[in-house]
Structure 1
Amino acid sequence: MGLSADPATDRPGLIDSSVARYADGLRKASNPLVLRPELWASCEQQARQILGECIATLHGTPVQVAAEAELTSMALGVQRSFEKVSPIDSVHAARVLFDVAVETMTEAAARLPAEVALSRFLTAVRMLHKGIFTRVSAAAIGYESTTLRDVGQASTARRHQLARDLHDHIGSSIGLALRCLDLYTMEQATGVASTRDRLEDARQALRDVFSFTRTMVSGLRVNELHDGLKEEIDAYSAAASDRPAEVSSRIDGDESWLPEQARQELFLVVREALRNAFAHAGADHIDILVSVFPDAVHATVTDDGVGLPSPRTGDGTGLTAMRQRVTALGGTLELISEPGQGTRVQLRIPLDDAGAGAR
């Protein structure tokens, strides 16, 4: 790759060589973003911004994604809609840039002092996640909003669905990846061995983001879970928690009674409740119980953590999305919590209505 002896002093050279490899990767896939000069100009500009953010972070300079970057990306999504660029091409470009940037930072980090190399590298990877997906999410909103407006379908319900999907799929997966990196850093610092491969968990969470983004922006979303509910819940718990043995889950009843839509939405609600418990509750124990009946499914997520203040000023984005998902299936969701008394999220979804909506 031709790194200089002191990469900290040759950031323009690092960016130039990385952009060249990025363009080569796009050409090999015949991606129109590099084959059409008018498209490559904006694509290259964004790549240079993202690489600059990551390399600055790698060398100890605090960086934030500029607010203008999100607005620019949303406008770029609108532009690519007008120019009939397939969203798949944009997602593929993000994937190629991610691989190139990680390779660049790996090689550059190897030339940093050993005592700071790992922590700087992990911080830079987190910056890369944020830089790419802030822009991808904004561009997807711009692209879809324009497309829906053109065909007269920009309804409030669709916008809410898009916001929920971005939060629950993209936001949650990125959050999981960052948590895995935090846990890896903590375990490295304390010398406490873990049975989990935290870096592989982070990589898998990012693969899930790429996969979902590709299918979402192309209008070909496939939300089916690959495993049973318990397996999916336990896998998320093990990856997201530093105390996986203290989380217990149980599924009662026949899971085959659940229509796929209800099953998927149920998992997303339970996962969000778990995420909140891991992030905010400080709980010693979290219990998940899902009971499936022929006509309804009940679920509870209970923790013995710090509870929520009373009175509460309102629901956050996560809880609002949970309520909207359950309500869309004709169900109800209740949050029960008091300071120092833990929190319980309980929901009920009627399977006759859910099944009708899913078929």
Structure 2
Amino acid sequence: MQQNGNAVLHHPSGRRFSDLQVALVLDDCAQTLRTGRAITVDEADGAARRTVDQRVGLLVDQPAMAQASALLFETVAIVLRDVIGTDSDSAALRGEALLTLYRSVHARWQLHTRQHASLLATVQKVAEAKRHTLARDVHDRVGNNISLAMRQLELYALSFGEEPTQEQRTVLNARDTLIGTLLQLRELITWLHDPRTDGNLRAGIETFVEAMQMPEVRLAIDVDGDESLVDPEILEELFLVLRECLLNALVHAQAGALTVRVNFEEDEVTASVEDDGVGFDVHEASVARRGHGLISMTERVTQLGGRFQLTSRPGSGTRASLWIPLPGAVRDA
């Protein structure tokens, strides 16, 4: 088993801990052979907890742990058969020993799984906190300076005549560049915050728009139906598509109002995002493969078996519509 541990574990301390666990499982089996009584579930769980090492959750992945547990169980079961024998008089003792073996291994497997999940959650929380700190620093130290410079240029531009000079046009270009940079910065901050649905689509959308820091844009959200009907994976994909639609509207459309509608039914989900912005030529953008995330959004919805449609024209705003069938739904031809 120690030789197999080298293939299963990725750190010397993890291998030593594995050897210790194997020895303790064998001690449990030996105790059963001496007493003729299988250890209880509580005894197995207590023994596992007394020998736990939280570092192992990071050193051993789940498939490797399963492989090692299965190999240990098989090896010890074969040895027990050889030691105890197969006659009827030994059947009861062999059964008790196998029960002890199962409970001892299973208790350690369960404890490892819980600790692995706990460690993973801790790592995710730390990473999330770091992202939020970075987002706050970028906003406070960079975003505010860009906003201040942009406002100063806007105030200066108020003194320009109807026909600005070449130097004044240079100032206007610099102002426009700062506006574009600020929008890109807001997109980066939003990505760092990484808002998710967390089982509440409306809250996820509101959090995303709030993170974009564009209070001048009016947002209306209409969510109808029970979103618990939708698998979390599908709900997350739906949120990502809607977020991309909103991002395009906020960054590119110069929209004053956004309307999001989502309808959950037993066999399908329909949704739309509509803005009153400047609009664009959908065909031209698709051919030129410019911005708007049209290809990405279409691929996400198509992979779910649904349909995505984008309608827009210059000066008339944009409407994105999608339909996603739920598992078990009858799809039209």
TM-score clears 0.5: no
Q: TM-score range by the shorter chain?
A: 0.3 to 0.5
**Structure 1 length-normalised TM:** 0.40
**Structure 2 length-normalised TM:** 0.42
